[in-house]
Structure 1
Amino acid sequence: MPGTEMADDDDPRFGPGPFAGLLGFRILHADRDGATVEADPGPEHGNRIGIVHGGFLSALLDTTTGWAVQAHLPPGIGAPHVQMSIQYVRAAATGATLSCRGRCVSAGRSICSAEAEITQGDRVIARAVTSHAVLQAS
């Protein structure tokens, strides 16, 4: 995706994908400098004690690091996650926007790595470090 712009809503490479779309994720940008994805978690994204579920946060980190890596690869080449390590720093509240910023740390021919951080306001909520397997075109 080098040099692509996120403005073309009809291009299937752009947009959050079906699962991330179901969760309400909004991709603000994804380019070689990184990716930013936002979400507005509602009560349906909370756990029984009323905070945002860790799985929702994990999916946001997964989506953001995926887009950060994808921006370094040519169209048609995938790079699914093969590892993700998450540090949950503090609880996130429902009803307030989450912003996740990620960047590709290394983009090799077979493995890429990335990192991302979720904030809510000025508070860090969670961080992740990921590895991705580059799927070569057949």
Structure 2
Amino acid sequence: MQSSREEKLAAWRAAEQAIRGRLAAPGTLSLAEVSALPPLEFFTRIGNGELPSPPFGELVDFVPLEWSPGRFVFQGRPDARHYNPLGSVHGGYAASLLDSCMGCAIHTQLQPGQGYTTTDLRISYVRALRGDSGPVRAEGRIVHLGRSTALAEGRIYDVDDRLYAVGSCTCLILDMSN
């Protein structure tokens, strides 16, 4: 059993290292530039280093790892930089990962010319994240995608499938073509 865990941990670390090796320097595009691209192309071009990586990922130390229609996975490594005064990772770290993976899951299904913004974010914390918890993954999936709103849910888990937090979000779908 321990060997299987070590193999999975090594695979997670290798996947993260591979994507980190391809990511371009942090930077941003305009909303018009982002919304003009088909969503999966947008994320693939970030993952291939053809577009700048989001600066926020560097700040909180997580990277986009996997994406497909309606699903998005980030991987991160919480550490002492993310600690609150109680000696565990601040809840905002988990909230940021969940907001990101759920919002990006919704983004994968938008049409060119559409954007989104989170209108509601709900998080339930299951156990404390600590510096030795990582790497962790935040996985978001679409629950509903309508014309004006979308709903997604997400979870944060580690290599042993221990659950740290779950969440859901509602996003407002925006027309960016104007």
TM-score of the aligned structures, taking structure 2 as reference length: 0.70
What amino acid maps onto 1:116 in structure 2? G
Name the counterpart of 1:104: 142
Structure 1 position 24 matched with structure 2 position 61:
yes
Evaluate the alpha carbon distance shift between residue 11 and residue 80 of structure 1 in structure 2; reply closer, same or farther with a 3 A threshold.
same
Cα deviation, 1:101-128, whole Å, max 9, x if unaligned, reads 1101111110011000001232100000
Cα deviation, 1:7-63, whole Å, max 9, x if unaligned, reads 432235xx4x22233211110122214011010011010112221110011000011
How far apart in 1 are the matches of 2:61 and 2:76? 6
What amino acid maps onto 1:103 in structure 2? R
Evaluate the alpha carbon distance shift between residue 9 and residue 127 of structure 1 in structure 2; reply closer, same or farther with a 3 A threshold.
same
What amino acid maps onto 1:62 in structure 2? D
- Paired-residue identity, %: 31
Name the counterpart of 1:11: 51
Q: Which runs of 5+ in 2 are unaligned?
A: 1-37
Q: Which runs of 5+ in 1 are unaligned?
A: none
Evaluate the alpha carbon distance shift between residue 10 and residue 76 of structure 1 in structure 2; reply closer, same or farther with a 3 A threshold.
farther
What amino acid maps onto 1:119 in structure 2? Y
The structure where helix makes up a greater share of residues is 2
**RMSD, aligned CA:** 1.7
The 5 Å alignment of 1:1-138 reads 1=38, 3-4=40-41, 6=44, 7-11=47-51, 15=53, 17-95=54-132, 96-121=134-159, 122-136=161-175, 137-138=177-178
SS of 1:69's partner is helix
What amino acid maps onto 2:149 in structure 1? I
The aligned length equals: 135
TM-score of the aligned structures, taking structure 1 as reference length: 0.88
The structure where strand makes up a greater share of residues is 1
